[in-house]
Amino acid sequence: SSEVLEAIENVIQGVVQSLAQKKAPVLTVANRTDWGNIEFKDSVGLQMIPGCTSKQIRSDCPQSAKRFALMLKILSMIYKMVQSNTYATKRDIYYSDTQLFGSQSVVDQIINDISCMLKIPRRSLHVLATTKGFVAGNLSFTEEDGTKVNCTCSATVFTVPSNVQGIKNLTSHAKFILIVEKDATFQRLLDDDFFNKVSPCIMITGRGIPDLNTRLLVRKLWDSFKIPIFSLMDADPHGVEIMCVYKYGSVSMSFEAHNLTVPSVKWLGLLPSDLKRLNICRDALIPFTKQDENKLASIQKRPYIASQPLWKKELEIMATSKLKAEIQVLTSLSSDYLSRVYLPNKLQFGGWL
């Protein structure tokens, strides 16, 4: 905490010095969303390059003056929270003055900018994200406040903790971790008692694009147990994108890649090549939209795809067919095909990439 307070004090000292010299204070923030500032490393994923380009948030410029003020406002809130050892969610910060901030996304971006500017992980700033992810299966742990969570004894879903760094005493006999893209598939696997039938496993879902806490938990599980991690996604560009966020990280959070990415994640399904192999009826597939085509073309150009020739092949199958499929398409073969046939066969015979 002293490191965080010192980092904030240094920023404020810079502002005060500028004012003393009758200069307009400026905050310098890295260009987080610029692919030119990102490099791909097999062992880490997408990470920010050391000498990356930055942008200035000036206090004397009409376009950025409000953002400058909001950054100082949130810095002061973080300073108080770290001093008093209290926490707030990003939502709490937004609702402390909705008129001032204007929207939740403004708060989210500023907090990420501050984290990047101070080079301090967001959770060390005492700002928690609202969690949307779920976890179930062969896992028990103790939350920071001492609450014991045991996912093992029932088909109950637990929300991913909002302070993943604080959890301890993780125990599990799981043989693998399964990341599931969507809530509906996750619930279906729970109903079918999948994580007990095949072999003990941990299931986790970010319910679409994963939030920070879900990604932190996947990383913590990997660090703790070093067991295989498989991903089960729709056979569409959106599903591939989500899987890449878990495995390689995202451009906007590349400054925190070391804590978030899990490069060992394997693509278990649904593979575009599975659709042909399983003779899925063409009528059950969905034609690409223009948006799908653009998304797929963008993914194919990314630096990490070049290092994955088998993934590249699957993406080419998708691009050629211009068809996509949801995991639910397997119910056209039988209602429990996913949990009874598809996943057990894939896991037994190594059908992942």
Average pLDDT score over residue span 289-317: 90
Same domain, 147 and 112: no
Same domain, 335 and 232: yes
Same-domain pairing of 187 and 301: yes
Catalytic member of 95, 248, 304, 337: 95
Question: 193 in helix, strand or coil?
Answer: coil
- Residue 272 belongs to a domain with what CATH number? 3.40.1360.10
The enclosing H or E element of 60 equals none
Neighbours of 82 (CB within 10 A): 21
Segments forming the whole domain that contains residue 102? 1-128
- Model confidence pTM above 0.75: yes
- Cβ(67)–Cβ(74) under 8 Å? no
345, pLDDT greater than 80:
yes
Place of tokens 């996509």: 324
111 shares a domain with 157:
no
- pLDDT of 170 above 80: yes
- The residue length of the chain stands at 353
| Lowest-confidence pick of 33-47, 92-106, 206-220 | 33-47
The predicted structure's pLDDT at residue 334: 84
pLDDT of 37 over the 90 cut:
no
Question: Do residues 22 and 28 make contact, with C-beta atoms less than 8 angstroms apart?
Answer: no
The bridge status of strand 201-205 relative to strand 134-137 is antiparallel
Give yes or no: residues 64 and 84 share one domain: yes
Which backbone phi and psi does 276 adopt, to 5 degrees? -75, -45
Measuring CA to CA, which residue among 154, 157, 195 is closest to residue 178?
195
* Count of domains forming the chain: 2
Q: What is the reported pLDDT for 154?
A: 64
Write the pLDDT tens digit of every residue in 87-141: 888 889 999 888 889 889 899 889 988 888 888 887 788 888 778 899 998 898 9
Alpha carbon 309 to its chain centroid, in Å, reads 24
Out of 128, 153, 186, a domain closes at 128
The 10 Å Cβ neighbour count of residue 198 is: 17
Residue 156 makes CB contacts below 8 A (sequence gap 6+) with 136
Q: Are residues 218 and 285 in the same domain?
A: yes
Q: Is the pLDDT of residue 256 over 90?
A: no
337 is catalytic: no
pLDDT tier, 75 (very low <50, low <70, confident <90, very high otherwise): very high
263 and 316, same domain (yes or no): yes
* Residue 218 scores a pLDDT above 90: yes
**Per-residue pLDDT tens for 262-283?**
889 999 989 999 988 888 888 8
What is the DSSP annotation of 301-337?
Answer: TSHHHHT-HHHHHHHHHHHHHTEEB-GGGGGGT-TTH
Question: Is 62 found in the same domain as 95?
Answer: yes
Question: Which is nearest to 181 in space by CA: 217, 110, 235, 224?
Answer: 235
- Examine the domain organization and report whether 80 and 181 are in the same domain: no
Whole-angstrom Cα distance, residue 289 to residue 106?
Answer: 30
3-state secondary structure of 130: coil
Q: Tell me what pLDDT residue 246 has.
A: 93
The residue type of 330 is: L
The domain boundary residue, chosen from 128, 158, 189: 128
Distances (CA, A) of 191 to 15, 157, 186, 198: 57, 11, 9, 14
**CATH code, domain with 122:** 1.10.10.10
In a shared domain, residues 207 and 284:
yes
Q: Which of 96, 111, 128 is the last residue of a domain?
A: 128
End-to-end CA distance of the chain: 42
Please indicate, yes or no, whether residues 124 and 138 belong to a single structural domain of this protein: no
Q: Do 148 and 15 fall within a single domain?
A: no
